[in-house]
Amino acid sequence: MKSSLNIEQTKEMMIFVSKHIITKKDELNKADKVLGDGDHGNAMTRGFEAVITKLENEQFADLKNLLKTIGNILLDSVGGVAGIIFGTLFRSGSKGIINTLKLDSSEFSNFLGHAVEAIKLRGNVKIGDKTMLDALEPASKIAAELTDLHIAASMKKASEAAYKGMESTKSIPARIGRAKILGDRSIGHPDPGAISTYYILKYMSGYVKKAELND
C-alpha cells in the first residue's frame, strides 16, 4: 500500500464515502429525533446524493477544487445549519491543501486543521458543546501527529479518535443550537453531526484500506 491518493482516487474515495453515508439515513434521523427535527439523515442523504451526481460526471484538475466543490454542493443541497457546517468542513478544509495533486497524511492533516478552525469560527463552538467538533477536532489533533505515516494509518487513527469524540457527546448536555433547550435531557444521546463526522472519516479510512493506491 502506497502513501497517497491521486486526484482520481480521492474522487473515488468521496463517492465511496457518499454512498455509505446515504445508507445511514435512518440511523441519523433517529439520532436527530431526540435533539433536533429528526431529519438529519434526510438532509445528509440529499447532500451526498448530489455529491455523487457531481463527482461521477466531472473531472477535476486538482484536489483543492475537488474538495471545494464537495463543500459547495453540501452547502447548497443539505440546507440549514448542517449544510453550513459540513459545507464549511470541505470548503475551508480545501484551503489547507498545498500539494494539489496528491492527498497524503500531511495534506489530510492540513485539510482537517483548516476545517476545525473555520468551524470553530463560523459556529462559535468549542470542544464540549456537543457538536460535530467533538468528533472532528480529536481527529485533527491525532492526524497532526501522524504526518510521517502513510495515509491509511493516519486516516485509521483519525477515524478512531472521531469515534471516541462522538461517543463523548453522549455524556454532556447540549450547549448550543436547538438542543440547548433540552439541557440535561440531552445527556445519553450522541450528537447527530458528530455521528456524521465520524462516518465520513470512517469511510475515508475504509476506502483507503481496500484500495490499491499508487504514488
pLDDT tens string 68-124: 999 999 999 998 889 999 999 999 999 999 988 999 999 999 999 999 999 999 888
Q: How many CB atoms lie within 10 A of CB 38?
A: 15
Rounded-to-5 percentages of helix, strand, coil across the chain: 70, 0, 25
If you search the block for the grid coordinates 447540549, which residue do you land on? 174
Closest CA to 40 of 51, 49, 50, 28: 28
How wide is the angle at C-alpha 56 spanned by C-alphas 22 and 194, nearest 5°? 30
pLDDT tens string 204-214: 999 998 876 54
Side chain identity at residue 58, one-letter code: E
If you search the block for the grid coordinates 458528530, which residue do you land on? 194
Decide if pLDDT at 215 tops 50: no
First to last CA, the chain: 9
For residue 156, the surrounding DSSP H or E stretch is helix 151-168
| Phi, psi (degrees; rounded to nearest 5) at 172 | -125, 150
pLDDT tens string 11-56: 999 999 999 999 999 999 999 888 777 899 999 999 999 999 999 9
What cell was used for 54? Answer: 457531481
Per the CB < 8 A criterion, the answer to whether 42 and 95 are in contact is no
Closest CA to 143 of 109, 98, 99, 113: 109
Domain 5-210 has CATH 1.10.3720.10: no
Closest CA to 30 of 15, 14, 44, 49: 44
